[in-house]
Amino acid sequence: MLNIILIAVAVILVTVGLVKLVDKFIPTKFKPVLNILLWIIIIFLGYQTYNSIYDPIQFNKVKQKRYAQVIENLKDIRDAELAHKQVTGKFTDSFDNLIKFIDTAQYTITQRRDSTIIDAELTRLYGVDTTKDIIIIDTLGFVAVRDSLFKNSDRYKSMMNVPVGKPGAKFELKAGLLNQNDIKIPVFEASVKKNVILFDQDKDLLVQENQVVSVDGVNGDALKVGSMTEVKTGGNWPITYGANE
């Protein structure tokens, strides 16, 4: 925004300077031609100023619309990965495996309840009935992962495709184990570069976008969910695009 203001001020100063120059130093017979040239310069500078304001506004509109669409896919990938870990105990780095899992896997529906039983060992030791509290887990049934996450939609079958930007682009999916305090913890990460999402936009503005560090922006050069370097399943987008956890 500061650059835009400086450009506008520069245009005004140049315009005023040119007007004074024509009035003070140029002979009267040359003024009509110079006035025409002056107007051409003013129009050109005005056009440049307009573009310096309009282009970033349009870039942001395109960016926000495309980011929103990409984030919806990232949320689906995260939900599918979390379901995969819940059922299998690990994440996967294969979209084919993830789709097959959604098509076939089931959640087990359980119910926990407290109960009291005779503690045989203590009863034998003390000679009187002694009880102990236990937790019983009952299996109530099963529900398909597909129905739980996506209901009647089959959008999960194309969630690997980046929905906007460069044609044919796909999300990068990684999974593995992260060693923390000698404990191996499953992690995953799905991502796509901003250069892919905004491949057809102004290159200078895209360079600036890749360098964003802001609480209300998508930091870094990619949109992603999860991480291979820390234990997290959240996305790197601000809450203006929706919940990132």
Which sequence spans correspond to the domains of the chain? 1-17+30-104+156-245
Q: What CA–CA distance (Å, rounded) separates 209 from 77?
A: 24
* Residue 164 neighbours by CB distance under 10 Å: 19
Angle (CA) 207 208 213, round 5°: 125
Structure tokens given for 26: 């140029």
**pLDDT tens-place string over residues 199-223:** 999 999 999 999 988 888 899 999 9
Tokens at residue 189, please?
């990460």
* pLDDT for 110: 47
**CA 35 to CA 191: how far, in whole Å?**
56
The percentage of residues in the chain with a pLDDT greater than 70, rounded to a whole number, is: 76
Q: Exposure of 194 by Cβ count < 10 A (0-12 exposed, 13-18 middle, 19+ buried)?
A: buried
Does pLDDT of 7 surpass 70?
no
Instruction: Tell me what the pLDDT averaged over the chain comes to.
Output: 83
Query: CA 86 to CA 81: how far, in whole Å?
Result: 9
Mean of pLDDT values over 166-172: 96
Structure-model confidence comparison of residues 82 and 46, the more confident one: 82
The amino acid that residue 124 corresponds to is R
More reliable by pLDDT, 77 or 5? 77
Residue type, 129: D
- At 55, the pLDDT band (50, 70, 90 cuts) reads confident
Q: Where residue 8 falls among pLDDT bands split at 50, 70, 90?
A: low
User: What is the DSSP-derived secondary structure letter of residue 59?
Assistant: H
pLDDT at 181 over 90: no
With tokens 């970033």, the residue in question is 56
Residue 22 is classified by DSSP as: H
**Residue 74: which pLDDT band, with cuts at 50, 70 and 90?**
very high
Residue partners of 83: CB distance under 8 A and separation at least 6: 101, 102, 105, 107, 145, 148, 149
113-158 per-position pLDDT tens digit: 677 777 777 777 777 777 777 776 655 555 788 888 998 899 999 9
Spatial distance between the Cα atoms of 78 and 99, rounded to a whole number of angstroms: 13
Q: How far is CA 27 from CA 17, 31, 36, in A?
A: 17, 7, 15
**Mean pLDDT, range 187-192, rounded to an integer:** 97
Residue 96 pLDDT exceeds 90? yes
**Kind and range of the H or E element at 108?**
strand 106-118
Residue (of 10, 37, 9) closest to 22 by Cα position: 37
> What pTM was estimated for this model as a whole?
0.72
